[in-house]
Amino acid sequence: MKGITLLLHSFYILLLVLGVLRSSSAENDSNEDVNGKQVYIVYMGAADSTSPSLRNDHAQLLNAVLKRNDKALVRNYKYGFSGFAARLSKDEANSIIQKPGVVSVFPDPILKLHTTRSWDFLKYQTHVKIDANPNTLSNSSTSSDVVLGILDTGIWPEAASFNDEGMSAIPSHWKGTCMKSQDFNSSNCNRKLIGARFYTDPNGDDEGDNTPRDSIGHGTHVASTAVGTAVTNASYYGLAAGNAKGGSSESRLAVYRVCSNFGCRGSAILGAFDDAIADGVDVLSLSLGASPGFRPDLTTDPIAIGSFHAVERGIVVACSAGNSGPNSYTVVNDAPWILTVAASTIDRDFQSNTVLGDNKTIMGRAINFSPLSNSAEYPIIYSESAKASSSSLTEARQCHSDSLDANKVKGKIVVCDGRDDGEYSTSDKIDTVKAVGGIGLVHITDENGAIASYYGDFPATVISSKDSATILQYINSSNNPIATILPTTTVLDYKPAPLVPNFSSRGPSTLSSNILKPDIAAPGVNILAAWIGNGVDEVPKRRKPSLYNIISGTSMACPHVSGLASSIKTQNPTWSASAIKSAIMTTAIQSDNMKTPITTDSGSVATPYDFGAGEMTTSESLQPGLVYETNTIDYLNFLCYIGLDITTIKVISRTVPDNFSCPKDSSSDLISNINYPSIAVNFTGKSVVNVSRTVTNVGEEDETAYSPVVEAPSGVKITLTPNKLQFTKSSKRLSYQVIFSSTLTSLKEDLFGSITWSNGKYMVRSPFVLTK
């Protein structure tokens, strides 16, 4: 590997978020000093609701720690919640956890970083007919007072996506700042980029990164995707050419640099949440999280803690679901107060085709700038036929390191078989082929799915296993097989789209099977967006560094949703965070651009475990008709149901009513009754389950009636009481019950369905799952 910036092209960023390149990046990093101390986070629940000064018990405990060591304090949390990060010994940490008012004490974890056409594609993925021209560039000079905060790797402020031309003055409610550093000052902020903060590493590991400026690219990419100003003639070296724009180009941007080359520290993430709450953000976007194998509980998860206090104050928090699919139980950031985002594709593909000597063309997927001729004139060989004497046939067929004979490969295009080979990536096989003089690579694999990975100037492409027979048959039937690999071209109106890519993390949630996660899907595959201006790695020969990049991941999906949330907040400024979340979920679609059910990369019909409520829409979500409002009491009850005691809950939340108490019969099954836009029911040992929901009419008509349409799985009966919702001027909130009855003796697999309320104008859909 040549450095961290190499990771941030589409293939390498995926390796990073999957943890291939940094095996410990999501685990607690001890970093013990010579005295056996490391950084611990001391979480003490709610901050003082009336004053930003330290809570008494917080101050006393902090003073006690500092009295022992005046250099112990790393960071203090006092605005959005209470606590601190400090360098402690294990014994000191164990002592502090016993103190009154302390919810949890845990080592400072390191979490991981988990486009143009995407917004146009979403515009046409809708239940209603849209007549506007998709090529029209909309860059309204109007401004919104909505502020989107992004916790990521920082910002490249010179990017055209953050131009503030035509924007009005900074909103009066904004209390944030633009921190100065050696390469960043207040003049780098403007009426678009109104805030920029960074957080120093307590161990000094990222001393060169003490700046809001993005040296990696990831933060700039997600920020421009979410709220970037419209820019004409954007492309990645001519690919994906078009008009680049964010989903809410009128919104303001505040960035909080919590990630560096060493990962994203939990203490910095909590510091950013604390500051963002005090600064006055309206929406928060986090394209980062833990690995499925490292799953802290709610009281030791920095994102769950910070987002709880943000949502409690009305801030929408959207987080990426993770890139560890397609296995089940891999979704992260799955607390019910978080809007959890899976990834999907758009109707654009990047193809690098292989042309054979018999004039047949094999479609491949890759991003390369092949210098080869467009004519099939280069010898092509199946790698198995070029086996080195010291390697096995399997090693040669899969192009493992040192497995090929240079005398047989030099000057040829090599076909490598990646089926049943999870060890060597396409990039690894490029290295193998280049080392023995090969001039190109055709990789047979289905592992990459819909992703077009970046291979620079080397002619490399990926073909599916179903297309392999054609190319192998040609090689075996010809005395002098020849071919060429064409440079990448952009393919528009690709069908089917969207798909759910293999890498997108899947449900069910390990936190609770009674909450359906992920919540929503959004474009996250081969997304073009702004990039840092000083990138030097992986630049094609005789080209200047690109100001845009194409990368993939749920990291790219999350800002699509947070951008949409910002637009909804702009049009509906009084809506709660949960109303906005509900609007996004209940208006999602489940069909692709062929009017057939959305599928996964592997071809199976997608389920709510793959994409939650479905693919986000950008029109209906602005006027959803009805919303499910999940209030703080719902979340407090959730904490009861998962086993927290009332004493701890009252420390965590600043809004616990005096008369609130956990139900005596608290159990995880009661989580199904939280007023969530989707429904998840544990059916183990049951034949009938009753679930309640409440909806609020936010449509234009006060007097209106909604009737249900139910899609139920075989063997399950759904009864709704009442079976019609009649809203009036005096009755804007109505409740209903869902009775699930099963005639099955037992569930052999989880079953899915949906309940849709409609008044003829709006369709309000809630997916449900019955778990075995």
- What CATH number does residue 390 fall under? 3.50.30.30
The amino acid that residue 463 corresponds to is I
Q: Taking 80 as the threshold, does the pLDDT of residue 696 lie above it?
A: yes
Give the H/E segment covering residue 65.
helix 56-68
Residue 6 lies in a domain: no
Could you tell me if 178 and 325 lie in one domain?
yes
Residue 278 lies in a domain: yes
Could you tell me if 397 and 356 lie in one domain?
yes
Name the DSSP class of 51: -
* Lookup: tokens for 209: 């990164």
Q: pLDDT confidence of 593, banded at 50, 70, 90?
A: very high
Q: Which is more confident, 274 or 683?
A: 274
Residue 309 lies in a domain: yes
pLDDT at 746: 78
CB 175 within 8 A of CB 278: yes
Beta strands 489-492 and 704-711, pairing class: unpaired
* Lookup: tokens for 491: 């393919």
Q: Taking 80 as the threshold, does the pLDDT of residue 359 lie above it?
A: yes
Residue 382 lies in a domain: yes
Burial code (b: 16+ CB inside 10 Å, e: under 16) for 146-160 equals: bbbbbbbbbbbbbbb
Name the DSSP class of 487: P
Could you tell me if 151 and 280 lie in one domain?
yes
Residue 314: CB partners within 8 Å, gap ≥ 6? 282, 576, 577
pLDDT at 235: 94
Distance (Å, rounded) from C-alpha 586 to C-alpha 66? 50
Residue 15 lies in a domain: no
Domain that holds residue 727: 675-772
pTM equals 0.92
Q: Taking 50 as the threshold, does the pLDDT of residue 602 lie above it?
A: yes
**Which of 89, 107, 125 delimits the end of a domain?**
107
Could you tell me if 314 and 359 lie in one domain?
no
Q: pLDDT confidence of 14, banded at 50, 70, 90?
A: very low
Average per-residue pLDDT for the chain: 89
pLDDT at 144: 93
Could you tell me if 383 and 340 lie in one domain?
no
Q: pLDDT confidence of 49, banded at 50, 70, 90?
A: low
Among the listed ranges 59-63, 601-605, 616-620, which one has the minimum average pLDDT value?
A: 59-63
Could you tell me if 512 and 587 lie in one domain?
yes
Could you tell me if 183 and 319 lie in one domain?
yes
Candidates 29, 152, 209, 601; catalytic one: 152
Q: Specify whether 324 is catalytic.
A: no
Beta strands 440-444 and 413-417, pairing class: parallel
Neighbours of 168 (CB within 10 A): 13
pLDDT at 208: 64
Q: Taking 80 as the threshold, does the pLDDT of residue 679 lie above it?
A: yes
Largest CA distance in the chain: 86
Q: Which is more confident, 353 or 119?
A: 353
Residue 8 lies in a domain: no
180 burial type by CB count under 10 A (0-12 exposed, 13-18 middle, 19+ buried)? middle
Candidates 555, 562, 666, 678; catalytic one: 555
Residue 380 lies in a domain: yes
Residue 416 lies in a domain: yes
**Which of 659, 674, 689 delimits the end of a domain?**
674
> ω into residue 326 within 30 of 0, thus cis?
yes
556 burial type by CB count under 10 A (0-12 exposed, 13-18 middle, 19+ buried)? buried
CATH code of the domain containing 103: 3.30.70.80
Distance (Å, rounded) from C-alpha 70 to C-alpha 110? 25
Q: Average of pLDDT values for 499-503?
A: 95
pLDDT at 136: 35
Q: What sign has the CA pseudo-torsion 508, 555, 678, 119? A: negative
Name the DSSP class of 226: H
Could you tell me if 207 and 331 lie in one domain?
yes
Could you tell me if 479 and 539 lie in one domain?
no
**Which of 622, 650, 684 delimits the end of a domain?**
622
CB 681 within 8 A of CB 713: no
Residue 340: CB partners within 8 Å, gap ≥ 6? 319, 320, 321, 331, 333, 334, 517, 518, 519, 520, 612
pLDDT at 584: 98
Q: pLDDT confidence of 50, banded at 50, 70, 90?
A: low
CB 386 within 8 A of CB 398: no
Q: Taking 50 as the threshold, does the pLDDT of residue 256 lie above it?
A: yes
Q: Specify whether 665 is catalytic.
A: no
The amino acid that residue 395 corresponds to is E
Neighbours of 424 (CB within 10 A): 20
Alpha-carbon distance values, 645 to 664, 670, 770 (Å): 11, 16, 28
Domain count, the chain: 5
Q: Specify whether 152 is catalytic.
A: yes
Q: Where are the alpha helices (DSSP H) in 243-368?
A: 266-279, 302-312
Could you tell me if 313 and 270 lie in one domain?
yes
What's the pLDDT tens digit per position in 120-157?
666 666 654 433 333 333 444 478 999 999 999 999 99
Residue 689: CB partners within 8 Å, gap ≥ 6? 672, 681, 683, 739, 740
Cα–Cα–Cα angle for 426, 602, 492, rounded to 5 degrees: 75
CB 722 within 8 A of CB 736: yes
CATH code of the domain containing 744: 2.60.40.2310
Q: pLDDT confidence of 371, banded at 50, 70, 90?
A: very high
Cα–Cα–Cα angle for 643, 647, 652, rounded to 5 degrees: 85
Q: pLDDT confidence of 685, banded at 50, 70, 90?
A: confident
pLDDT at 414: 98
pLDDT at 449: 86
Could you tell me if 73 and 117 lie in one domain?
no
What's the pLDDT tens digit per position in 528-565?
999 998 876 678 787 888 999 999 999 999 999 999 99
Among the listed ranges 66-75, 226-235, 375-384, 665-674, which one has the minimum average pLDDT value?
A: 66-75
Candidates 218, 309, 443, 560; catalytic one: 218
Neighbours of 605 (CB within 10 A): 12
CB 330 within 8 A of CB 292: yes
Could you tell me if 221 and 178 lie in one domain?
yes
The amino acid that residue 666 corresponds to is S
Residue 39: CB partners within 8 Å, gap ≥ 6? 31, 74, 85, 86, 87, 88, 107, 108, 202, 203, 267
Three-state DSSP class for residue 621:
helix
